[in-house]
């Protein structure tokens, strides 16, 4: 039988209508009704007078929809009604990050118990519109319809994060903000900023200006893979840092999108940029430059009282700048050879009655933990902070393996799962031959999606210690924002679903089918994702 083109089009349209909308991360419950709500010049965005959380979410909705639609979407206090998108704070039983979204033929209603839930309802509504809504310029001729749906949604985990390494390559502030936007679209809520390392110190500290005057700049950068010998360099000075005003601006920008920025100040290892600025913080007498190549390096902070007080001064300024509860103090890959060789460190250990270097590090970390607690903050560190003993109130970020997270959870620590095998997005996502140079590893999308942050062997009490998961974008081999996005997406879409959607509702085939549509959104948003393999 021959079908006319017109009839074929009708059939195709009906099929598209019937398909479940391609929302990423997949909502807990999405029921498709019949029909659609079409936005037009008269559509208003309303919220109850005095409902500040709904007003803020309405502002974000207008900001997201106006550029591409060109619709006025006049916003103001008002009630639910025909041709409105109404937002309202209301107890939903879905927690502060949960929301309900109901779209009928002539209206949409978003309810949430608090600001985050309302904001996530807005993110889902954006994804129900044609993908053209994500463009920065007006998309003429698009009909702005939203299918009739009823969505009830809430996240699986409280910690839904990504790490940006601003130290190995300086990350321009405008890109950090764009990254926050893309995280928020995926209902992610933590951005871990790795701010200090051997190759650069990226945050202004008023009390110690040389940290950025000296520490934010390196003479040049290694060319090629970090293992390649002999080393060759590009001869170009590289660096940059965020002023405290810029940090405040970024923190506010992220907060408006319900993303908490967690700073990381590395200690005692990954410290060479700071030691280059203030040599008395180190263990050797010769001056050190800001490091120009990659890898684990022996120049770590000494554990003298003066160094501990210096770093507490730094943390005091950092704690004042970042309103979030958690401060990350690093703690990874601090090789102890300089401490073993240093008479001063050996005397310090003897004076304190500490029998080995792991206990010296444990003491160092405990001093930071006590200091942060005194400021109402919680310490997070990479899993090596457990070596030599760790206060139960410290949170462990398990990177070397899932097993480290299991050990930490069983010992009563809160845990963020960040294992190399599943969450190191600096690893290759396809065979290296067709990809830009990377650090190594192999983490294709399917493997990334297969991760479950709660391993089966945890009992209910230990499982409840898993706050969530995050992925890492270490930037040794990721020098530009475009490359960073290429490594992040679409694997971060998979991660978003891992940390948001109930495990039983996740399915890789279903995810990749939705991803086809979702990547159109990212394309329109100007995100340089890696295309799916055909
Ligand atoms: C790490 O990758 N060294 C945390």
Q: Where are the beta strands (DSSP E) in 336-428?
A: 378-382, 395-398, 415-417
Assess whether the C-beta atom of 382 lies below 6 angstroms from ligand 1: yes
Ligand 1, residue 472: give the atom nearest the CA: 2
CB atoms within 10 A of CB 244: 15
Calpha distance 290→275 (Å, rounded): 8
Centroid of ligand 1 to alpha carbon of 126 (angstroms): 35
How many angstroms separate the alpha carbon of residue 175 from the centre of ligand 1? 23
Atom 3 of ligand 1: nearest residue by CA position: 332
The pLDDT value given to residue 20: 79
Phi and psi for 108 in degrees, rounded to 5? -135, 145
Q: Which two tokens stand for residue 280?
A: 């008395």
Cβ atoms within 10 Å of 309's Cβ, excluding its own: 12
Cα separation, 208 vs 314, in Å, equals 8
What residues are annotated to the active site? Answer: 197, 270, 333
* Mutation to probe ligand 1, out of 198, 297, 382 (largest number of atoms < 8 A from CB): 382
Atom of ligand 1 nearest to the CA of 382: 4
Whole-angstrom distance, CA of residue 77 vs CA of residue 256: 20
Burial 333-357 (b: 16+ CB within 10 A, else e): bbebebbeebeebeebbeeeebeeb
Q: Is the CB of 424 under 6 A from ligand 1?
A: no
Closest CA to ligand 1's atom 2: 399
How far, in Å, from the CA of 332 to the mean position of ligand 1? 6
SS3 481: helix
Is the C-beta atom of 486 inside 6 A of ligand 1? no
Cβ pair 360, 301 in contact under 8 A: no
Structure tokens at 431: 């065979």
216 Cα to the center of ligand 1, angstroms: 20
Ligand 1 pocket member 399 (CB < 6 A): yes
- Asked whether 422 lines ligand 1 (CB < 6 A), one says no
Sign of the CA dihedral 498, 502, 504, 510? negative
How many Cα atoms occupy the beta-carbon half-sphere of 399 within 13 Å? 22
- Per-residue confidence in pLDDT tens, the chain, 534 aa: 344 444 444 444 444 455 679 999 999 999 999 999 999 999 999 999 999 999 999 999 999 999 999 999 999 999 999 999 999 999 999 999 999 999 999 999 999 999 999 999 999 999 999 999 999 999 999 999 999 999 999 999 999 999 999 999 999 999 999 999 999 999 999 999 999 999 999 999 999 999 999 999 999 999 999 999 999 999 999 999 999 999 999 999 999 999 999 999 999 999 999 999 999 999 999 999 999 999 999 999 999 999 999 999 999 999 999 999 999 999 999 999 999 999 999 999 999 999 999 999 999 999 999 999 999 999 999 999 999 999 999 999 999 999 999 999 999 999 999 999 999 999 999 999 999 999 999 999 999 999 999 999 999 999 999 999 999 999 999 999 999 999 999 999 999 999 999 999 999 999 999 999 999 999 999 999 999 998
Measure 204 CA to ligand 1 centroid, in angstroms: 23
Ligand 1 near 452 CB (within 6 A): no
| Cβ neighbours of residue 55 closer than 8 Å, sequence gap 6 or more | 47, 75, 77
Contact 294 CB / ligand 1 (< 6 Å):
no
Mutation test residue for ligand 1: of 383, 443, 474, 478, the one with most atoms within 8 Å of CB: 474
Minimum-distance ligand 1 atom for the alpha carbon of 418:
4
- Burial (Cβ within 10 Å: 0-12, 13-18, ≥19) of residue 480: middle
Q: Three-class SS string for 19-35?
A: CCCCCCCCCCEEEEEEE
The candidate with the shortest Cα–Cα distance to 95, out of 181, 189, 215, is 189
Q: DSSP character for 482?
A: H
Helix (H) or strand (E) holding 307: helix 305-321
For ligand 1, pick from 399, 439, 473 the residue to mutate: most ligand atoms within 8 Å of CB: 399
CA–centroid distance, residue 192 to ligand 1 (Å): 13
- Among 376, 393, 425, CA closest to 188: 425
Q: Which atom of ligand 1 is nearest to the CA of 424?
A: 2
Ligand 1 near 332 CB (within 6 A): yes
Which residue lies with its CA nearest to atom 1 of ligand 1? 332
Which of 333, 380, 421 for a ligand 1 pocket mutation test, highest count of atoms within 8 Å of Cβ?
Answer: 333
- In the reported structure, the alpha carbon of residue 214 is separated from the centroid of ligand 1 by a whole-number distance in angstroms of 24
Residue 534, pLDDT score: 83
pLDDT at 18: 52
DSSP result, 47-68: E-TT-HHHHHHHHHHHHHHHHH
- pLDDT, position 99: 98
Find the DSSP H helices in 70-114.
none
The residues, ordered by sequence, that sit 6+ positions from 486 with a Cβ below 8 Å of its Cβ are 436, 528, 529, 530
474 CA: nearest ligand 1 atom? 2
CB atoms within 10 A of CB 234: 13
Q: Which atom of ligand 1 is nearest to the CA of 296?
A: 3
Give the Å distance between the CA of 415 and the centre of ligand 1.
Answer: 15
Atom of ligand 1 nearest to the CA of 333: 3
Terminal CA-to-CA distance of the chain, rounded, Å? 31
Question: Which residue carries 């639910």 as its tokens?
Answer: 80
pLDDT at residue 457, as a whole number: 93
Select from 257, 253, 239, 262 the least CA-distant residue to 163.
Answer: 262
Please give the distance, rounded to the nearest whole angstrom, from the Cα atom of residue 398 to the centre of ligand 1: 9
pLDDT at 12 (0 to 100): 41
Contact 214, 199 (CB under 8 A): no
């Amino acid at each position: 039988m021959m079908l006319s083109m017109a009839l074929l089009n009708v059939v195709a349209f009906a099929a598209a209508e019937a398909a479940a909308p391609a929302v990423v991360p997949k909502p807990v419950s999405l029921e498709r009704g019949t029909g659609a709500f079409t936005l037009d010049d008269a559509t208003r965005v309303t919220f109850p007078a005095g409902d500040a959380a709904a007003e803020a979410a309405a502002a974000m909705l207008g900001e997201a929809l106006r550029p591409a639609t060109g619709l006025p979407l006049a916003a103001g206090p008002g009630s639910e009604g025909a041709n409105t998108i109404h937002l309202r704070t209301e107890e939903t039983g879905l927690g502060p990050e949960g929301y309900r979204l109901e779209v009928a033929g002539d209206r949409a209603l978003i309810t949430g118990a608090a600001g985050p839930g309302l904001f996530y309802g807005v993110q889902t509504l954006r994804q129900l519109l044609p993908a053209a809504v994500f463009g920065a310029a007006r998309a003429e001729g698009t009909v702005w319809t939203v299918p009739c749906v009823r969505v009830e949604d809430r996240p699986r985990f409280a910690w839904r994060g990504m790490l940006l390494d601003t130290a190995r390559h300086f990350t321009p502030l405008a890109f950090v903000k764009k990254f926050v936007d893309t995280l928020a679209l995926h209902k992610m809520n933590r951005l871990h900023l790795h701010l200090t390392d051997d190759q650069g110190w990226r945050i202004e500290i008023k009390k110690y200006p040389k940290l950025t005057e000296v520490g934010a700049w390196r003479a040049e950068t290694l060319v090629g893979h970090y293992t390649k010998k002999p080393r060759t360099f590009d001869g170009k000075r590289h660096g940059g840092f965020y002023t405290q005003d810029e940090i405040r601006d970024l923190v506010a920008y992220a907060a408006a999108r319900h993303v908490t920025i967690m700073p990381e100040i590395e200690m005692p290892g990954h410290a060479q940029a700071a030691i280059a600025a203030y040599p008395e913080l180190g263990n050797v007498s010769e001056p050190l430059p800001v490091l120009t190549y990659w890898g684990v390096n022996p120049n770590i902070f000494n554990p003298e009282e003066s160094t501990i007080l210096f770093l507490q001064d730094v943390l005091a300024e950092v704690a004042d700048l970042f309103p979030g509860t958690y401060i990350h103090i690093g703690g990874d890959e601090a090789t102890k050879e300089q401490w073993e060789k240093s008479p001063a460190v050996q005397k310090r250990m003897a004076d304190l009655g500490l029998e080995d270097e792991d206990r010296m590090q444990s003491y160092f970390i405990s001093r930071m933990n006590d200091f942060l607690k005194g400021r109402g903050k919680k310490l997070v560190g990479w899993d090596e902070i457990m070596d030599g003993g760790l206060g139960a109130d410290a949170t462990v970020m398990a990177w070397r393996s899932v097993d480290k997270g299991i050990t930490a959870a069983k010992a009563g620590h809160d845990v963020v799962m960040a294992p190399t095998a599943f969450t190191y997005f600096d690893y290759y996502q396809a065979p290296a031959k067709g990809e830009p140079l990377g650090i190594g590893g192999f983490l294709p999308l399917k493997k990334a999606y297969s991760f479950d942050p709660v391993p089966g062997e945890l009992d209910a009490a230990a499982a409840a210690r898993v706050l969530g998961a995050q992925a890492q974008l270490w930037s040794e081999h990721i020098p530009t924002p475009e490359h960073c996005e290429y490594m992040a997406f679409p694997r971060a879409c998979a991660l978003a679903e891992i940390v948001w959607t109930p495990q039983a509702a996740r399915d890789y085939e279903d995810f990749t089918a939705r991803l086809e549509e979702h990547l159109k959104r990212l394309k329109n948003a100007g995100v340089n994702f890696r295309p799916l393999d055909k």
